[in-house]
Structure 1
């Protein structure tokens, strides 16, 4: 332990334990030097840290005295006595769709780019509210090459996640109206619209009218959670023009097609300025790296830029600069290719095991998961057994459960489905 820390801890504990009370004076720097047998610099450092942390204050011609009120001391003790609690539960087997494949090599690559960005001179400023220019430039090239989204750098708005960007977008609209969404409604998008007073209407993509906005997940649409076909895409765009509504396209994991044919985003086929595009990277990198982006159409791009300085930066500038270089050096495209191979193999292995057990299921490609039908299961007993055995599972949705292969090793998939099947058997209603 550093010498100044020993002095710091001594006086801090004396204050918190009540030996030194509000407005009591600490020994002079010279006296503390004698008490602790250390240099003046060490004592000054300790006292300065105690001032910065709010324990003491420096009074001219008096010296240093205790600043904390009794109520503040009580609060300190309560905070320190609170047992540490993990933010995320740890499971022996995690089948939740929120989990991802963690590749140590990719983590090390990302760390290297973060370290390089941290050393850059640009870190001394707040950043661009719209997102850092190098990242927007890299994203415009990436979006065109991988999703057919042709846009100018000026049309891109970067945020920490698509829900935050959706809040910004809804704040730009004058008055609330009616937003059409497919069932099941996306809970985070639904929450944003409801926060702004929008009415949510369940829609069928074949018959769209009496709505102001269509919110659509083009990579996971409808009951089967499939990418929309080109025919459906074109029909939706025709209806948008015919019935005069805006489309917000959520292209979640749209580039990660490992079992279906690669399709271009709906934005790529829009010729009437009807689509606003949203892309995200949390399942491609790490869930803790929060970067998403909007591609505004011409109408709302002009509106945003005229009000740009009324907004503050959203996503971490450090992460943005690191990510810009990561994309520019080709790592993202290389990583996506690798993930496609990995997730294809895992999905086929899980599909084979689910078939062996006789489950009814279908693939949700964008979310790296299978929806499994469990119609005769005692849900309460099922959850209790899963908790007892350290198995992480999502909630039921009308008799279906979505289980993910993303974070599983290929060698563990058969055993994982075996454990899942055992839970189902033990929880099946007689």
Structure 2
């Protein structure tokens, strides 16, 4: 498609967009009495309007039923998490038995590493990406120290080539082959939070399995954003947060995937708790742990249904739309944003550098822009003029045109505000 940097063209794209109506399903903050242009769904998604009804339902059941709500609420609390299995499995490409919801992201990664990081004297190394999200870095370091190893020796970072912003798949695979029999685990973010690069998860998983390592993925920026086929890729485990692209609210519950081939492995250790115990016998208070079959068997504690309610509201919206439709709009609106950035760059000669891959197969709903010649003042100008975006040191703004609630007209207006901000500097 040949794009145009005009309001009329952007409005035409919106009129042809089958997802445009979902924009009205969300609350938008306002700046100067106007809805903001919201580019930070990769940090915190907007609140769906339907969320309140899901929370109110639990509050009413709690008020009217108290403890009996566990069994007699409209959506009984004791199996509330089971409502996620079908819609979440479609979002991440899994079987319903392979997904569950519990805890928060880094907590779940720690718990999953109990099962899938089992170092020996000869096989103890972990491969991750350079500039992984700090929480992952801290987690890996602490896990390695817990097992009595030195992080400097055990953590192998895949680095970018000199002068490049993104990591090449062939370099990841080459490093996996090089570490070989010393490799215990590959654990990488499926989408790099800083650059927006989408990794070739299928190829990397296959390479890790070929040398006998477990392979897991942190899907914080991938779940609800990119096409995933976790079961078919033979991924061992994965976890993701729900408050970015899935709009469940700040710091909310995490989703987990455990491949079905591990469900019946009695030699695989896990930290147990009563909510992972055999559902039909859970309230018999038996002394020995008998795990639920499937990913639910990794649960530990009674689930916080008030936190799960907003997440359920969101995944049911995803079920209405389907990932294919989301991805189709995601690719189109991201390409249009890329076009707008290049057009404004030519008009003001400001030398922006988009460090996110230009290949649509290697990116999703994010463009990270290096502002050569511009500083924090431009970011501040955007924020004061109703463009909510994200600043990352040393000089990058991250723009996430989330297809559920961003419009093509937003992209056009952003370009005009950006242009004005540069010219008025």
Normalising to structure 1: TM-score of the pair?
0.58
Listed as ranges, the matches of 1:25-424 within 5 Å are: 94-96=38-40, 97-104=42-49, 106-111=50-55, 113-115=57-59, 118=62, 134-150=79-95, 152=97, 156-170=99-113, 177-197=124-144, 199=151, 200-203=155-158, 204-207=171-174, 208=176, 209=179, 210-219=182-191, 225-228=197-200, 230=202, 232-233=203-204, 236-242=205-211, 244-252=212-220, 254=222, 256=224, 262-265=227-230, 267-270=231-234, 275-282=236-243, 283-288=245-250, 290-297=252-259, 298=262, 302=266, 303=268, 307-309=272-274, 313=301, 315-320=303-308, 331-336=317-322, 343=330, 346-358=333-345, 359-361=352-354, 362=356, 368-377=365-374, 379-383=375-379, 385=381, 392-397=388-393, 399-406=395-402, 408-424=406-422
Contact 1:257–1:366 at 8 Å: present in 2 too?
no
C-alpha distance in structure 1 between counterparts of 2:111 and 2:90, whole Å: 27
Does the Cα contact within 8 Å between 1:280 and 1:292 map onto a contact in 2? yes
Question: Conserved in 1, the CA contact under 8 Å of 2:382 and 2:421?
Answer: yes
SS in 1 for 2:301: coil
Distance in 1 (CA, whole Å) between partners of 2:300 and 2:92 is 28
SS of 1:395's partner is strand
Cα distance change of structure 1 residues 291 and 306 upon mapping to structure 2, 3 Å threshold: closer
CA contact (8 A) 1:353 1:417 kept: yes
1:4-43 aligned within 5 A: none
Measure the CA separation in 1 of the matches of 2:238 and 2:191: 12
Q: Aligned equivalents of 2:364 and 2:320: distance in 1?
A: 20
Contact 2:132 2:189 in 1 (8 A): no
Pair 275,197 (structure 1): closer, same or farther in 2 beyond 3 Å:
same
Q: Distance in 2 between matches of 1:166 and 1:157?
A: 13
Q: CA RMSD in A?
A: 4.3
Structure 2 match to 1:17: none
Task: Report the 3-state secondary structure (helix = DSSP H, G, I; strand = E; otherwise coil) of the residue aligned with 1:237.
Answer: helix
Deviation at 1:386, TM superposition (A): 5.2
Runs (5+) with no aligned partner, structure 1 = 1-88, 127-131
- What's the offset of the Cα at 1:166? 1.5
On the 8 A contact 2:208/2:215 being kept in 1, the answer is no
Greater Rg by CA: 1
SS in 1 for 2:392: coil
Larger relative contact order (Cα-Cα within 8 Å, sequence gap ≥ 6): 2
Match of 2:372, SS?
Answer: coil
